[in-house]
Structure 1
């Protein structure tokens, strides 16, 4: 499903928290409203999005953080606000969900700026809610809603990974072919990549919750705490998926090694049985004079009988040693 998200948009929230769509998005970034707050969103790499960032009047550190090409989830205080980076699952058409989209944010008392390089469904969800008139108490509450929506969008992806590992665990190891082993490796890679961002995302939300900002009320803190707990749970589920995939992989490796050992054991038994017999036939087959039985018409059958006796004695010895009962 294509994510419908313009290159830039904005909403002005009045003193009661009621949103109104902005027509002049660029002008809203530089100015701080006397009452209420504004939310401005820009998509980096587009003309409209870059124009919004250029007209925002940000200092060098904030602008560099919003334009950073590669980010990891984090939260750090700067001046009177906070710089945050979060990650959301990639639900764009043709993309892998674990190729998570980075959401850069600059949060102040009356301003929230969000920046993306690729569309993110959680931002579209929040934009749709604002378009319906959803009330918000401040920028921090919007951050909490974004974090919760990011968790909402990630949960079905993690649930799908759980279903895939369940199916592999229920499959007989002897029936796991190349396709199943490839799926197991892909599943484990997906869990590892997503966990790499979920764990620092939990820390970023925890840091934002405990920041000493007077403009964050207790209700918003509880919402951020809820988002933190949900991200923590997702991280724990990804840990479990990774460990379960490793266990299946270990069992598969053990089963393959056991089959290989059984095959080598059979070859060893066959080699041990035919070693003395091959020695006898090789000794009698040398092309020199003096080989016994050359003139005897029954020598061939005598040798065959002797080899049968030797083979039977070997079989009895191996059976007594329990080598045929493995």
Structure 2
């Protein structure tokens, strides 16, 4: 009696022939197959054990919190990658974990949430336009994950250009958006840097599992993620430069406002003194008996204000 595909296996393909053939039964004791697995459903550990996979590897692929890394095993390797989260309503920089286990000629990939890069490959396989072998599958998977990351970095560059435009938005709005963008890029750097290290380690030993052509393609993808990391680091430098520019704008605006307040206070200081003196309600104040004294006093204050204005102007206070 044939064994049907368990619920936790999202997709499975036989690459022993070309084009690859989708399989749904008799999953054990096969070679050159790819099994894509939902790792948070019950029964996975038992199924992997029945496939001959050792317990330490099962624990590694089902571990909850992981970072990108590469580990060579006696019968293959474990490659843990992170892909951009393109789910609706999610933050792309919260990169999703994909664990890829190559063991005894088969590939097992484990995900918790859908990853667009894997979805693209599945669509191509269904159209018979996908990878021709497991080797091609590995390289294409890394390529698609790099493509999604590059698209995200392009979007971030556009947002940076908008923030650098002084004509768009107020300084406080730009600072708030810049802080949010900075936080996003730091999350990306947290995973992209170790991912580059993992792919470099994989590339250094890839000749054991990949032919010469695919090794070269893998080198190209390693260079691509290196460029993406450099672009991310450059964007982070731009963030600091823009932050300093915005802080300088705020400081200049405060200094300008403080300066004008000082000028105004300087102009009105003697006027305030005179009005205070003449506001004393005691006998002997000059002009008390003169009906025109108020207007004479106002005229004197105006003359004093004009003289102060001209004096400050001559001294180049502005």
| TM-score calculated relative to the size of structure 1 | 0.82
Q: CA deviation at 1:49?
A: 5.2
**Structure 1 residue 187 corresponds to structure 2 residue 181:** yes
CA contact (8 A) 1:73 1:84 kept: yes
**Structure 1 residue 231 corresponds to structure 2 residue 225:** yes
Worse-superposed segment, 191-200 or 295-304: 295-304
Q: CA deviation at 1:48?
A: 6.7
Unaligned stretches of 5+ residues in structure 2: 1-6
Superposed counterparts of 1:7-86, under 5 Å: 7-14=9-16, 19-24=20-25, 27-28=27-28, 31=29, 33=30, 36-47=31-42, 52-53=47-48, 55-86=50-81
SS in 2 for 1:144: helix
CA contact (8 A) 1:151 1:227 kept: yes
Superposed counterparts of 1:264-275, under 5 Å: 264-275=258-269
Cα distance in 2, alignment partners of residues 271 and 203 from structure 1? 62
2:285 corresponds to which residue?
Answer: 291
**Structure 1 residue 261 corresponds to structure 2 residue 255:** yes
Q: CA deviation at 1:111?
A: 2.1
CA contact (8 A) 2:92 2:152 kept: yes
Q: CA deviation at 1:147?
A: 0.4
Cα distance in 1, alignment partners of residues 272 and 303 from structure 2? 14
- In angstroms, what is the RMSD of aligned CA positions? 2.9
2:161 corresponds to which residue?
Answer: 166
Superposed counterparts of 1:182-261, under 5 Å: 182-211=176-205, 214-261=208-255
1:311 corresponds to which residue?
Answer: 305
| TM-score calculated relative to the size of structure 2 | 0.84
Cα distance in 2, alignment partners of residues 74 and 300 from structure 1? 87
**Structure 1 residue 151 corresponds to structure 2 residue 146:** yes
Q: CA deviation at 1:50?
A: 6.0
**Structure 1 residue 122 corresponds to structure 2 residue 124:** no
Unaligned stretches of 5+ residues in structure 1: none
CA contact (8 A) 1:13 1:19 kept: yes
Q: CA deviation at 1:54?
A: 5.5
Distance 1:87 1:197, change over 3 A: same
Distance 1:315 1:76, change over 3 A: same
Distance 1:212 1:90, change over 3 A: closer
CA contact (8 A) 2:33 2:106 kept: yes
Superposed counterparts of 1:135-146, under 5 Å: 136-138=132-134, 140-146=135-141
Number of residue pairs matched by the alignment = 311
SS in 2 for 1:287: coil
CA contact (8 A) 2:77 2:101 kept: yes
SS in 2 for 1:58: coil
